[in-house]
Structures are given as C-alpha cells and as structure tokens.
Structure 1
Amino acid sequence: MMELLQNLKRGYKAGNIVQRLLYWNVAVAIIFIIFKAFYQPVYLFLVDNISLNSNFEIFIYKPWTLITYSFLHADFIHLLFNLLMLYFVGMLFETFFSKFQLLAVYVFGGIFAGMTYLIASNFLDINSQVVGASGAIMALLFAVTTYRPNMNVRLALIGNVKVWYIAAFFVFLDIVQIPMSNAGGHITHLGGALFGFIYIQCLNKGFDMGKFFVWLNDLFSPNKKKYTNFKNVYTNNKNGQTSSQPKKNQKDEVQIQIDVILDKISKSGYESLSKEEKEFLFKQR
C-alpha cells in the first residue's frame, strides 16, 4: 500500500498540469465514494455544500460552490467521460499554451460556466444542482478551436477531423438536449464554450488571465523561481500571425523547428508527430 502511495506521489510530482488535474478529480471522486459507502450523512452534507445550486438565495450563502462544483461528478460514467475529455483536450491546449494559461482557462472557465448556469436558471425557471468539470473542459476545447480552428485531430475509426467540427458537434448536442433533460448541465457547457472564445479574444488583445496564476506561483513557490517571461503562444509567421519573439525577422533554430512542428500538427494532427517531436515541443513549454 505504501509503495502504491509513493508511486502515485512520484507520478503527481512528475506529471504536467493536465495529469495533476486528473489526479485531483480522481482523488475527490474516491473521497466521495468512501463517504457514500460508509458515512451517508457526511456524504449528503458535502454534496449539498459543494454542488452549485440554481437557487440564487441558496447560492449567496455558498459562493465557494462556484469553484467546487467542477471537481465533483454525478457518477462513474460522468467522471470517466470527463477524465478522457480533459486528457484529450488538455494535450491539445498544451501544444500551444503554457500550464498557467491552461489552469486559467480551466478554473475561470468553470467559474464562468457556473455563472452562466445561475443566470440562465433564473430566466428559465430551472431548479436543480449542477456538478462536473464539463464546463471547464469545454472552455479548453473552445480556446483551442478559436485559436486553431482548422487544426486536424486524429480520431479512432474516423481519421483526421478539424477541431472545429468536434467543437460544433458538442455545441449542437447541448443546444438540442436543453429541452429534453439536464438543461442546467448543457447550459453550463455552453457557458464554458463561450469563455474559451472570450479568453482567446482577450489574449489576442494582450490581456492574459494566466498571469494571475504566474503571480500565485511566484508568491508561493519555495524556490521563488519566476515564470513571468513565458511565451503566451507559439505562432507561425508564415500565416501572417504575430510572433512572441521580440523581433519578427530574427528567428532562432528553436523557433523554426517549432513552426515546422506546428505546420505538421495543422495538416495531420497532433498524433502524427514522432516521439522526438512531441518531446521537443513539450520541453518548450
């Protein structure tokens, strides 16, 4: 048992931000499974104080639920689907952005999605509670889609699909299912999608919400290592886009190699990269 815990601890420390978020979601799920099996009153108390209630009069006394609801899941299938989506979308997001930017979109996207749910629920007379990381994950998906809509993603049994097709499919499903069931959950997804779009628009105008988490890291990091000079986005000047380099016409060999890899991703999808190319791109984050 101790060896298992040590392996999990090492895996958490060595993992990237996506893997750490997966750990957090699984850890919360395990805690709730234990309480549900052995301490029902505690389980019900925690669910009531962690899930986001559509009743504003209840929410006003539990404002923290705007954050906590996204770490709780309704059942195993709900958790499993969100873990798979978080891993898939998170890897795509980290191809272009830093871990601080991913954390910003995930956390703030979840909050924005929750606020969308609260506002819409009062207009549509929805009386329910919502849980799950779907809104935050949709924010990540739509941030990638807004930034690189024509990027190819390789799906099993289907082949290469443009990422905006995937995003549009999920939006279509959510809109169609609002009148049918779980209206609050689908509205939350749409709120997360809207935030992902807004985030990229803000980023393009020079406002990066990820800097908040850079500041937190600098504040609490034991070794006080600074990350404030991270690149916002890796871009390709061939497409007429701005570069994060101080001088547009002075590309070093690293940036040239990054551009070649990004071109390959756009044409054939992330999975087309070799192991060496993936490792190289990972080291540039």
Structure 2
Amino acid sequence: MSITLLIIAITCVTSFLALQNLKMMNELILWPPAVSAGKQYYRLLSYGLIHADFQHLLFNMITLYFFGSEAERFYTRQIGSVGFELFYAGALVASILPSYLKNRENAAYRSLGASGAVSAVLFGFILLHPWSTIIVFVLPLPAIVYAGLYLAYTFYLSKQGTDNINHSAHLWGAAYGVVFAIALDPSLLGSFLNQLANPRF
C-alpha cells in the first residue's frame, strides 16, 4: 500500500471513530490552551486526523487521493522512503502554527481537519505541473488558473471571518507546499517559470 493510501485510511478510520466519540474528538482536536498550558504538542498533528463531518472528510481525502501519489514520488526521490510522511506531518504543523500562535490563550478556539496539509500537497503538484487539468466540480481548469482563483477566494474569506473554516491553514499549507519543494530542489522554480511561459493545454 502506498503511503498516500495509508494516510487516507488512517484519517478516515480516525475521523469516523471521533465523529461517534466526543471524548476522542476533544482529545485530538487542536485546542490551543491544551498545547500551550498542557504541553499536549501531539495536537499539532492529531487535529489533521479528524474532521467536522463526512463531507469535510470526503473532500480532503479525494483531493489527497488524486494528488498525493505525485507528491509521494517526488518526496521519496528527494528525502527517501519516509520523505512523504515527513512532508505531510510538517505540512500539518506549518499550516496550523499561525492559527495556534494567534489563539494561544483563546479557550474558545478549536480547529480540525487535514485541509492545510492537503493544500500543501495540491500546491506542490501545481508547482510541478502548472498546466495540468484540475476538474472543479464539472469545470476543467488549468492547475495554475485554479491556484490563482483558490488563493484569491481563500484570502478573501479569511479576511471576512464569517464562517467556521480555518482559511489561514489553507493559505499557509499552500505556501508550505511550494516553499518546501523548492527548498529541496531549487531547479523547480526555473522549471515552473519555464512551463508558465510555454502553456500546454
């Protein structure tokens, strides 16, 4: 079994169990005071194994399924057999860290879901293949166009702050996915710019 499928399986099982068990959900969710005061640092990772509902889980895991294999191959080549696991775990921490630091003393704050890490996987893929096609519902879009629309929409919603979605994690996850890949292989930036200059639909 690939690491991508293993992550999906673990996340699905943990999410399903937590949705049926409030105590388990509360023990895994990112609750900043539990990290800052209780030293429960595992929550900076475990929050990504649980989801608010089935739709939330389904969207994240479908995205991870379609784009994770390419990321897994890249990070295995760059870092070795545990490359993708290290990248994914780092993405979970990096995407939530700004939200955690902002809400360190906020006992009312909670965050959960793998969206930040999934954004890192997706934007790493877009860096590698900017002109590949991404299907958004039924609309085919070039990956780089989707990236621009996604970032603009997510940034707008993060400023509005009118829903319960952690858009900040999506943005930081996307940034992490791009920066981490370029840090490992700086030639990716030149390759990306060259691909942008030579569109292939």
Same fold by TM-score, threshold 0.5 exceeded? yes
Q: Distance in 1 between matches of 2:56 and 2:17?
A: 16
Residue 119 of structure 1 is matched in structure 2 by 101
Match of 1:200 among 181, 189, 192: 181
Question: Is the 8 Å Cα contact of residues 147 and 200 (structure 1) preserved in structure 2?
Answer: no
Partner letter of residue 154 of structure 2?
Answer: D
Secondary structure, in 3 states, of the residue corresponding to 1:112?
helix
Match of 1:27 among 2, 13, 36: 13
Q: Percent identity?
A: 21
Partner letter of residue 48 of structure 2?
Answer: S
With over 3 angstroms needed to count, the CA separation of the structure-2 counterparts of 1:181 and 1:25, relative to structure 1, is same
Deviation of 1:90 after TM superposition, in Å, equals 1.1
Residue 88 (str. 1) matches residue 70 (str. 2): no
Residue 144 (str. 1) matches residue 125 (str. 2): yes
Match of 2:147 among 167, 184, 195: 167
Question: Is the 8 Å Cα contact of residues 70 and 131 (structure 1) preserved in structure 2?
Answer: yes
Residues 106-156 of structure 1: per-residue CA shift (max 9 Å, x gap)? 111011112121123359x794200101010011112222334x3312527
Residues 66-118 of structure 1: per-residue CA shift (max 9 Å, x gap)? 01000001111111111111112213424644364332221110111121211
Structure 1: runs of 5+ lacking an equivalent: 1-14, 37-42, 207-232, 240-265, 269-285
Deviation of 1:190 after TM superposition, in Å, equals 1.3
Partner letter of residue 86 of structure 2?
Answer: A
With over 3 angstroms needed to count, the CA separation of the structure-2 counterparts of 1:157 and 1:47, relative to structure 1, is closer
With over 3 angstroms needed to count, the CA separation of the structure-2 counterparts of 1:92 and 1:170, relative to structure 1, is farther
Deviation of 1:198 after TM superposition, in Å, equals 1.7
> Aligned ranges for residues 220-239 of structure 1 at < 5 Å?
none
Q: Distance in 2 between matches of 1:122 and 1:50?
A: 16
> Which one has the largest radius of gyration?
1
Match of 2:92 among 96, 110, 135: 110
Question: Is the 8 Å Cα contact of residues 135 and 189 (structure 1) preserved in structure 2?
Answer: yes
Residue 251 of structure 1 is matched in structure 2 by none
Partner letter of residue 68 of structure 1?
Answer: S
Match of 2:43 among 61, 65, 71: 65
Q: Distance in 1 between matches of 2:110 and 2:84?
A: 26
Question: Is the 8 Å Cα contact of residues 3 and 72 (structure 2) preserved in structure 1?
Answer: no
Partner letter of residue 125 of structure 2?
Answer: V
Deviation of 1:46 after TM superposition, in Å, equals 1.9
Partner letter of residue 77 of structure 1?
Answer: Q
Residue 16 (str. 1) matches residue 40 (str. 2): no
Partner letter of residue 83 of structure 2?
Answer: Q
Higher RCO, 1 or 2 (CA under 8 Å, sep at least 6)? 2
With over 3 angstroms needed to count, the CA separation of the structure-2 counterparts of 1:102 and 1:163, relative to structure 1, is farther
With over 3 angstroms needed to count, the CA separation of the structure-2 counterparts of 1:29 and 1:194, relative to structure 1, is same
Residue 53 of structure 2 is matched in structure 1 by 75
Q: What is the count of residue pairs matched by the alignment?
A: 187
With over 3 angstroms needed to count, the CA separation of the structure-2 counterparts of 1:131 and 1:101, relative to structure 1, is same
With over 3 angstroms needed to count, the CA separation of the structure-2 counterparts of 1:166 and 1:100, relative to structure 1, is farther
Runs of 4+ that moved beyond 4 A: 94-97
